[in-house]
Amino acid sequence: MVILEEGRRWSVADFRDGHPIDRFAGLYRDGGATVALGRPPVVLPIGRAVGGTTVVNSGTCYRPPTHVQQRWRDDHGLAPADPDALAPYLDDVEETLQVGPVPPSVMGRNGTLLLTGATGKGWTSHPINRNAPDCVGSCQCSIGCPRNAKFGVHLNALPQACDAGARIISHARVTTVLHRDGRATGVAVRRPDGSALEVHADTVVVAAGAAETPALLWRSSLGDHPRVGRNLSLHPALGLAGRFPEPVVAWEGVLQSAAVDELHHEHGILIEATATPPGMGSMVLPGYGRTLVRRLADADHIGVFGAMIADEPSGRVLGRRLGRRLRRPLLRYDLTRRDTDRLVHAMGAMGRLMFAAGAEEVLTALPNAPSVCTVVELDDALASVDPLNLHVAAFHPTGTAAAGSDDQRSPVDECGRLRGTTGVWVTGATVLPSCPEVNPQVSIMALALAIADGIVTAV
């Protein structure tokens, strides 16, 4: 088996010694500046490294909610998502990743404040389950863990694959999947020095993420199915900052540490205490010049929460018509009215949690009221919010080559085969039929294991 990865291999020494900005620019596609075009535009960081986005993710591990598994099974005909069928794969993933709850010793005050706010409001909350058994709370997950404590796939699945005989070629961008009349024969690869190579194989598994997979299929003349590139969900997110009377020092402790799920089932809103790595959080502060300098002097008093909403699949990858000439995809995503309302609702909920935890001021990032000091002021600001002023980001694109039993609706069949081909399989975030409604890595990995079992049986 040969694994081809466009990005480079990063070592723990690179994370320990590299400057945060260099790590950020190197670990993400487009230097971290990928955007889904729309109103408002959505900032969409996507990892590019041996180990994929798990190298930069926060380590948060959720099983897909049962109602999501049932929806995938019943509405999309995705048999492996049946809760009984998926359970052993979910167990396997959690065991491999060594998933466990964030202990109080590394939680940090940012997470504690979220839990305190939830207790004050009587809302359900919990320390987050993560795959970082040796975490010391250095808050750098999104730029590579300097302790190798976060168990991304570069530290478990890939070494396991290499032990079983796989080879990894980094700095290897697959330009096309090679095939003869839809029957896989291998892949063509280009490297950054301009050299090219081909790898010949009669089984090819495309796992290039939700943005790149459709583009690769189109470049390969394999993306004829009309739903390739459609059905993009982003699980969009917003952050809110609060100034507290006592120091928070949000960059000490686990980056994503605690969650409030009170509004999750009914409203699709999942709130998580999510800080930024040391020195990288100034964008949450309002103002510029002297005002910003004053704010920065007070930065250790700032707590940061984030909320994600279960969204409708209102986006798509652009570029189908360019086919083989498509060098990189563009994404288009337009928030629906329902999802805009959900984001505004989420802001109100996060603000309430901050005030319940003792915040003196909540920083909304809204131009009409960048700072509010009471729930009434917050509600006033949110009552007239213009969606274009929302600073939306997203970290969980899914669904652009969805798997399912309906050959009209799903470009990939329920076992992971790309329809109309022989020997071309697809997995990763791109096959999820709809937003998983939680941080998706565990769902993605469990379905990938199910697809892998099917491949082994089929070939």
What residues does 186 pair with on adjacent strands? 178, 200
Task: Tell me if residue 396 is catalytic.
Answer: yes
Least CB distance to ligand FAD at residue 414 (A): 18
Least CB distance to ligand FAD at residue 432 (A): 9
Q: Which one of ligand FAD, ligand SF4, none is in contact with 135 (Cβ closer than 5 to 8 A by kind)? A: ligand SF4
| E strand map for 116-253 | 125-127, 129-130, 167-169, 173-180, 183-190, 196-200, 204-206, 237-243
- Which residues make up the interface to ligand FAD (CB under 6 A)? 4-7, 45-49, 52-54, 56-60, 142, 173-174, 207-209, 212, 216, 256, 395-396, 428-429, 439-441, 444
Q: Which one of ligand SF4, ligand FAD, none is in contact with 216 (Cβ closer than 5 to 8 A by kind)? A: ligand FAD
Is residue 234 within 8 A of residue 394, CB to CB? The reply is yes
Is residue 398 within 8 A of residue 435, CB to CB? The reply is yes
**Closer residue to ligand SF4 in complex, CB, 276/421:** 276
C-alpha neighbours within 13 Å on the C-beta side of residue 176: 16
Instruction: DSSP for 256-319, please give it.
Output: EEEEE-TTHHHH-EEEEEE---TT--GGGS---HHHHHHHHHTGGGEEEEEEEE-----EEEE-
| E strand map for 19-105 | 35-37, 42-43, 100-101
Least CB distance to ligand SF4 at residue 136 (A): 5
Phi, then psi, of 187 in degrees rounded to 5: -140, 150
Residue 248 class from Cβ within 10 Å (0-12 exposed, 13-18 middle, 19+ buried)?
A: buried
- Which residues make up the interface to ligand SF4 (CB under 6 A)? 59, 132, 135-141, 145, 147, 149-150, 254-255
**Closer residue to ligand SF4 in complex, CB, 80/306:** 306
Q: Which residue out of 179, 264, 301, 396 is catalytically annotated?
A: 396
What residues does 332 pair with on adjacent strands? 37, 316
Residue 133 and residue 3: Cα distance in Å, rounded?
27
Q: Which one of ligand SF4, ligand FAD, none is in contact with 7 (Cβ closer than 5 to 8 A by kind)? A: ligand FAD
**Closer residue to ligand SF4 in complex, CB, 56/418:** 56
Least CB distance to ligand FAD at residue 399 (A): 11
**Closer residue to ligand FAD in complex, CB, 27/359:** 27
Q: Which one of ligand SF4, ligand FAD, none is in contact with 142 (Cβ closer than 5 to 8 A by kind)? A: ligand FAD
Residue 373 and residue 176: Cα distance in Å, rounded?
55
Residue 318 class from Cβ within 10 Å (0-12 exposed, 13-18 middle, 19+ buried)?
A: middle
User: Which are the contacts of 188, defined by CB distance < 8 A and separation ≥ 6?
Assistant: 174, 175, 176, 178, 196, 197, 198
H helix and E strand count, the chain:
12, 20
Would you call 130 helix, strand, or coil by DSSP? strand
Q: How many residues does the chain have?
A: 459
Least CB distance to ligand FAD at residue 7 (A): 5
Least CB distance to ligand SF4 at residue 143 (A): 8
Least CB distance to ligand FAD at residue 189 (A): 7
Active site (catalytic) residues: 396
